[in-house]
Structure 1
Amino acid sequence: MTTSKRVFELDALRGLSLFGILLMNILPFSFPYDESFLPDKVDGVDELIIRIVTTLIISSFYPIFTFLFGYGLAIMFDHSVQRDYGYYPVIFRRLTFLLALGLIHGYFIFSGDILVDYAITGMIAVLLIKKRPKALFITAIVLFTVKIVLIAIPKSLFTWLNGRYDTANFTGTSISKFINTKQHGSYMSNIALNTYEKTMHILDLVTFGAFFEFLPYVLLGMVAQKVNLIDYIRNNQRKAMKWGCTFLIIGYLVKLPYAIDYANQALSTLSTMLGGPLVATGYVLLFIILCQKSNFVRFISMFKYPGKLSLTIYLTQSIIFTLIYGGLGFGFGLYDRLALYQSYMIAIVIFILQMILSYYYLKKFKKGPFEWIWRKFTYLK
């Protein structure tokens, strides 16, 4: 497979995962999704949307983006060997910039930022970059298994027995006050909410998330690059199709109980930690197969444009939706005011516009503005 073809598939998959992440993020952007008892917040069409999104989207696209992040780390390592420059000074500058950008993004715009997660996890993962694919694969599987056996299952059982329908207060304040701050609060009052949420998230990241929630997918991305997974799938499409469908079916079956009983936090744990990654694996395998089918390439190719500008697309989404829903102390203040179906219509329209703008932008420029700054800081030139 040619390099251009391989890049096309990675960029298209990255663009698709950005769309999936937006369809997940629109929930906390638009209303207190994590803090609410959902049956009290949604009904009718909105309830159907929650069930569909829970099954198809939630926790099934960030693993893909994380996998691609690991793939990129391995590509950069190969480039450092081919061009004879020091990998670690370059990659740690790159990850340090990502960390700083993520902290600014997380504290001052959107507390659900994932750039900090990738930066910290990446700093751990690159220490293993020279390991053989088998060692990396075993490490990833062991970490994932530990997460499921020692964390997800016990947590799910404990929650089932001790308040499976309880709601968690992640903000440190009442829901009514949280909503009022989003709708009418000043920028500084919103910063206070972001500060609490982001700090709690970082504490969770350094004690658990980086090692068990993100590192397995980063390592698997590194493995995929080292063994040239895309070539393998291209040459073994029937086998990849079988495994892709298997992962997808099992993943959906794991996620389905939570989609039905979407207020049950015990089911949420298994859906997120086990079902989501299984579905993500199926998506990756089947999407790469579709990239080999000429009938689908024209449709799939539209995702490559935002995929090439992933950092810029991700950050501008946060700015746009924070302005729409509230959090900057100015804007439209539509937080918790729209029906969920209306928010999804807005999200889809915004992403389509981003795809169109990306297409025309890339006709004149090779890199997005944030990607350009990131590269300058990485290579110091």
Structure 2
Amino acid sequence: MSEDLARGPATPQHASPEALTPTSAAEREPILDVLRGFALLGILLINIEFMRGADFYRAFSEAGSTDAATGVDRAVHFATGWLAAGKFLSSFAIMFGIGAGIIAMRALETGRSPRRVLARRYALLIPLGLAHMVLLFPGDILFLYGVAGMVLLAFVGLRAKAALWWAGGALAVLLVLSAGLVGLSAIAPEPPSDDPFTVGMEEFFDARAEQAVTAHQDGSYGDVVAANAWLALFTQVFSLVIIPWVVALFLIGFAVARAGWIRDLAAHRGRLRTAMVAGLGLGLPLNLATGRLGPMSQGAVMSGGDVDGVVIWSTAGQIIGAPILAIGYLSALALLCLRIGPIRPLAAVGRMSLSAYLLQSVLALAVFSGFGLFDRLSPAQGMLVVLGIWTVLLVVCPLWLRSFRFGPVEWLWRIWTYGRRQPIRNA
């Protein structure tokens, strides 16, 4: 394995560059599409917390507390914090890195510059993400992925082993820095309850929460857009802070692709089993604290709440534990697919993951704003909405791909990336 990582696949030399085209359906590895679809659906488990109400703002004044939740709602908060928060974002980032590695190798094989191809690809994500966060869902990740993808361009010439070293080093540095920040929060004197700045911030966030609730329940679509713009401002500032973490996860996926493991997953069953056992065995206990704090556990520190052992453990879980558990999830699902075959509905979602991601936001906006359910459903009821959206995607995506080669947004993305019109209908 170490030799594979160090070398990576050989790069062929070409006298002149050939035309670079999108991966055809016959060339795709369906298990990778299954993994991508799995990660995408899982992201909704956390996104629903932002979509269903104004709890993000309340986290700043309530320290991410779930004390008001009882029974099944507390169980949902614990389960999503423990098993989902950061894990599916990590999974999707790793799959994004694998995709970058595949495109880079295909570009090299045709004598093209991988940086130029990937730069065009990521450039479109930035304006698309900006539009998505304001018009549909403020918790957008496309903008983050576009910016982080531009950073990834500096590393696309690395061999697999070097990419892993960079990823591990970045995660280690982030862990140390985060521990230091949490430590400073722990020893910093707590401001008095009547501190003007603290009172002003709480009033500001309360006003933003009220604005969001009014806009989604009783306002026009323009009011919703205005409320989205405010929330996007805060969520995207946090997203920019975690760019180094996201790039590290990209590099993990890039290394897997660069080593050539994805070209024959069946030949790497032993490595997948090792990754599954290590990922689940280490990741589940490392993430227990994020379960205790819930899906918005970052609010406990960001709001100036009490810093204790649970918060410190949760910080380590978010930075290191989430990627480890994500690797366990992806490895376990890959092994399952090698045993029973690719799960076709999930593979369809993965093949058109960008379109499916945007469709999730459209459906959620229709439910919570169109029907006035924003801030009126409990966490458990929100999970029912998740199941409904999953069902729609698992039905619509396979039906779409019966007639078309790509999802509609993927089709436009490929035209932009490769600089020429692509046939969209199946032959």
TM-score after normalising by structure 1: 0.87
Secondary structure of the residue aligned to 1:292 is: helix
Q: Any residues of structure 2 matched to 1:122-201 within 5 Å, and which? A: 122-151=149-178, 153-160=179-186, 172-174=205-207, 175-201=209-235
Matching residue's letter, 1:56 = L
Moved more, 230-239 or 371-380: 230-239
Q: 2:355 aligns with which of 304, 309, 312?
A: 312
- Which string of whole-angstrom CA distances, capped at 9 and with x for unpartnered residues, describes residues 42-79 of structure 1? 21111111111111111101111111111111211222
Deviations 1:218-273 (A, max 9, x none): 11111110112336763343453233222222222122133235475452433322
1:101 CA displacement: 0.6
State the partner residue of 2:46.
24
Distance in 2, matches of 1:362 and 1:84, equals 31
Q: Distance in 1 between matches of 2:53 and 2:316?
A: 23
- Amino acid across the alignment from 1:222: F
Code of the aligned partner of 1:30: R
Alignment of 1:7-156 (within 5 A): 7-36=29-58, 37=62, 38-151=65-178, 153-156=179-182
The within-5 A match list for 1:294-373 is: 294=340, 297=341, 300-326=343-369, 331-373=370-412
SS of the aligned residue for 2:55 comes to: coil
Aligned residues of 2:275 and 2:328 also touching (Cα < 8 A): yes
Does structure 2 conserve the Cα–Cα contact (< 8 Å) formed by 1:63 and 1:280? yes
State the alpha-carbon separation in 2 of the partners of residues 356 and 21 from structure 1: 18
Q: Which amino acid aligns with 1:75?
A: I
Alignment match, 2:275: 243
Query: What's the offset of the Cα at 1:210?
Result: 1.6
Q: CA deviation at 1:93?
A: 1.9
Once residues 31 and 249 of structure 1 are traced to their aligned partners in structure 2, the CA distance between those partners, rounded to angstroms, is 34
**Among 190, 209, 218, which residue is 2:242 paired with?**
209
Corresponding position of 2:287? 255
The alignment of Structure 1 onto Structure 2 pairs a total of residues equal to 366
* Cα distance change, pair 101–239 in 1 and its aligned pair in 2 (3 A): closer
Q: 1:313 to 1:93 in 2, by over 3 A?
A: same
Counterpart residue number, 1:234: 266
Q: Is the 8 A contact 1:171 1:197 kept in 2?
A: no
Distance (Å, rounded) in 1 between the aligned partners of 2:383 and 2:230: 27
Give distance in 1, aligned partners of 2:373 and 2:80: 21
Secondary structure in 2 matching 1:42: coil
CA–CA distance in 2 between the matches of 1:160 and 1:290? 44
* Residues 39 and 319 of structure 1, relative CA distance in 2, 3 Å threshold: same
280-289 or 59-68: which moved more? 280-289
Decide whether aligned partners of structure 1 residues 86 and 257 sit closer, same or farther in structure 2, where only a CA change above 3 A counts: closer
Percent pairwise identity = 26
- Cα gap change, 1:34 to 1:249, in 2 (>3 Å): farther
TM-score by length of 2: 0.79
Q: Secondary structure at the match of 2:372?
A: coil
CA distance in structure 1 between the partners assigned to 2:221 and 2:147 by the alignment: 28
Q: Distance in 1 between matches of 2:401 and 2:270?
A: 35
Query: Residues 171 and 193 of structure 1 are in contact (CA less than 8 Å); yes or no, is this contact kept in structure 2?
Result: no
Q: Compute the displacement of 1:34 (Å).
A: 2.7
**CA 1:170–1:128 in structure 2 vs 1: closer, same or farther (change >3 Å)?**
farther
Q: 1:234 to 1:169 in 2, by over 3 A?
A: farther
Residue 320 of structure 2: aligned partner = 274
The one-letter amino acid of 2:404's match is F
Instruction: Report the CA distance shift for 1:5/1:289 in structure 2 as closer, same or farther (over 3 A).
Output: farther
Ranges in structure 1 where 5+ consecutive residues have no aligned partner:
none
Structure 2: runs of 5+ lacking an equivalent = 1-24, 191-197, 302-306, 421-427
Q: Name segments (4+ residues, structure 1) moved above 6 Å.
A: 168-171
Residues of 1 paired with 2:184 and 2:216: CA distance?
33
Tell me by how many angstroms 1:323 deviates.
2.0
Q: Answer whether contact 2:57 2:206 (CA < 8 A) is retained.
A: no
- Does the 8 Å contact 1:156/1:270 carry over to 2? no
Are 1:289 and 2:322 matched, yes or no?
no
Q: 1:48 to 1:358 in 2, by over 3 A?
A: same
Deviations 1:57-116 (A, max 9, x none): 111011111111111112112222222334333322221111111111012221100001
